[in-house]
Amino acid sequence: MKTICFTLFFILCVFTSPLLGQIRISYPIPSFDVLVVNSAVFQENTPSNTKAKRVIHVRINVAQKTDTSTCIAEVLIYSLDHQSVLGTYNVECGTTLSVEIDDREWGVSVTSKTPVDVSVWIDQGFLNKENNLTFQIKADDFCKPD
């Protein structure tokens, strides 16, 4: 009986080990200078208490000891209720992606082949020109599932 249990446990471990590599690390919004080696997820933990439009910012910077010539991150912004998806955006290091969002809770997925430092935060109000904007999207341009 012990041999059967051990064998089943071993087989379970062997078949689930590839899935462990697919787990993404989750960080709260706001987060600043988070080292992302492969991929990471950022999510709001508290709902917005305002009905005003907000702006989510995703800043991608070069991680230390990284080749800057290929420093690009893929960014996907999504509502936590799974009703809206914005992106996918290719953001070069040293730039900030700023996207207008509504009062729902939001998340950000960042994937990069090279290590990058990522900062994600949300501002109340409108987009301004001081933020080195890469993209400007209105909340009405959401991709909604069929």
Which has the closest alpha carbon to 89: 44, 135, 55, 123?
A: 135
Average pLDDT, the chain: 78
Q: Set out the domains of the chain in order of their start, with CATH numbers.
A: 24-141 (2.60.120)
| Res 41: pLDDT | 97
Q: Is the peptide bond before 30 cis (omega within 30 degrees of 0)?
A: yes
| Res 109: pLDDT | 97
Mean pLDDT on 56-78:
86
Is 58 in contact with 118 (CB distance < 8 Å)? yes
Residue 87's pLDDT band, with cuts at 50, 70 and 90, is confident
Q: Which residues pair with 41 in a beta bridge?
A: 26, 109
The residue with greater pLDDT, 65 or 111, is 111
Query: Identity (one letter) of the amino acid at 72?
Result: I
DSSP designation for 22: T
The Cα 42–Cα 26 span in angstroms is 6
Taking 90 as the threshold, does the pLDDT of residue 12 lie above it?
A: no
Residue 55's pLDDT band, with cuts at 50, 70 and 90, is very high
Taking 50 as the threshold, does the pLDDT of residue 132 lie above it?
A: no
| Res 57: pLDDT | 97
Taking 80 as the threshold, does the pLDDT of residue 146 lie above it?
A: no
Is 98 in contact with 55 (CB distance < 8 Å)? yes
The Cα 64–Cα 119 span in angstroms is 15
Which has the closest alpha carbon to 88: 102, 101, 99?
A: 99
Instruction: Look up the pTM and report it.
Output: 0.69
Please state the separation of Cα 58 from the chain's center in Å: 8
